[in-house]
Amino acid sequence: MDLDLKGKCALITGGSRGIGRATALALAKEGARIAIAARGPEQLARTAAEIAALGAEVITIPADFTEEGASTRAVETAISALGGLDILIANAGGSFGAREHAEATEADWEKTFRFNVVHAVSALQAARPALTASGQGSAIFIASISGRAPATRGAQYAAAKAALIQSARSLAWELGPERIRVNTVSPGSILFPGGGWERTRAERPEDFAAFEANDFPWQRLGTDTEVADAITFLASPKASWINGADIHVDGGQRRPSIR
């Protein structure tokens, strides 16, 4: 299937590693022009080189999305360098502070919400005129199955991802008249080089083996490319009637992990 992504301009936050990197590569393979934003310059440069090796145009944007204004600046930089924007993937996200409720501070909750929710909705606000001008604008927020099913610990992360899913559902209505689609992708536990699950596997091999055996219909975690392929389709004009949706890419895992 031709996804009709040739020449489309895409910004991927957190695009240097993991799901974001795999998504940037998948979009580049389809002929999209790519901007990736993250903190670490070395990993940004490595991923940009991989994208360029596919023959795609790529720019890197240093940014820390826990900082106020960072999303707006990153989007403005991408639009000015690429000359427009058709696809926004707000992928950077994660949790701050203690996983136990008794120990998590107000600052942990606020920073987790800023990183996951405020970063994404602010990026979309800044991108909106360009996505409207595109006529086929697609915004995708990367949430988590933790946003759908109760987590046993780390309530601030689960709550932030739930808020992200509901933000997208609501914004799909608000931006619909401008023909901008807004969706979330909710991955299950995803294993990739340099990621959190690789560290858990090395540190707690027995727990990890039990986790794989018991929590997944296929007795394995997902991969970054499996999530990226779903994101790439969703970003494309071929997904024109998928809007306000939360797409699970979890191999049937359905509930958050034991970590």
Tokens of 258: 């034991």
39 interacts with ligand NAP by CB under 6 A: yes
C-beta separation of 10 from 26 below 8 A: no
Closest approach, Cβ 198 to ligand NAP, in A, equals 10
Residues 198-257 that bind ligand NAP (CB under 6 A): none
195 interacts with ligand NAP by CB under 6 A: yes
Comparing CB distances to ligand NAP, the nearer of 134 and 191 is 191
Strands (E), 149-237: 181-187, 190-191, 222-223
CA distance 12 to 24: 7
CA distance 81 to 36: 12
Q: Choosing from 157, 197, 211, 216, which is the catalytic residue?
A: 157
157 is catalytic: yes
CA distance 71 to 59: 16
Among 3, 10, 35, 38, binds ligand NAP (CB under 6 A): 38
Among 11, 18, 23, 25, binds ligand NAP (CB under 6 A): 18
3 state SS of 171: helix
Closest approach, Cβ 175 to ligand NAP, in A, equals 21
Comparing CB distances to ligand NAP, the nearer of 134 and 142 is 142
Residues 136-165 that bind ligand NAP (CB under 6 A): 142, 144
Among 16, 23, 122, 253, binds ligand NAP (CB under 6 A): 16
3 state SS of 208: helix
C-beta separation of 74 from 91 below 8 A: no
Comparing CB distances to ligand NAP, the nearer of 134 and 186 is 186
114 interacts with ligand NAP by CB under 6 A: no
CB pairs under 8 A, 24+ apart, for 152-156? 152/256, 152/258, 153/99, 153/100, 154/95, 154/99, 155/101, 155/104, 156/95, 156/96, 156/97, 156/104, 156/108, 156/109, 156/112, 156/113
Helix (H) or strand (E) holding 11: strand 9-13
CA distance 197 to 209: 12
What mask, x for binding ligand NAP by CB under 6 A, covers residues 79 to 98?
A: ------------xxxx----
23 interacts with ligand NAP by CB under 6 A: no
190 interacts with ligand NAP by CB under 6 A: yes
Among 19, 127, 180, 234, binds ligand NAP (CB under 6 A): 19
Among 3, 8, 9, 14, binds ligand NAP (CB under 6 A): 14
C-beta separation of 114 from 35 below 8 A: no
Per CB under 6 A, residues contacting ligand NAP are 14-20, 38-40, 43, 63-66, 91-94, 142, 144, 187, 189-190, 195, 197
The residues annotated with a catalytic role in the active site are: 157
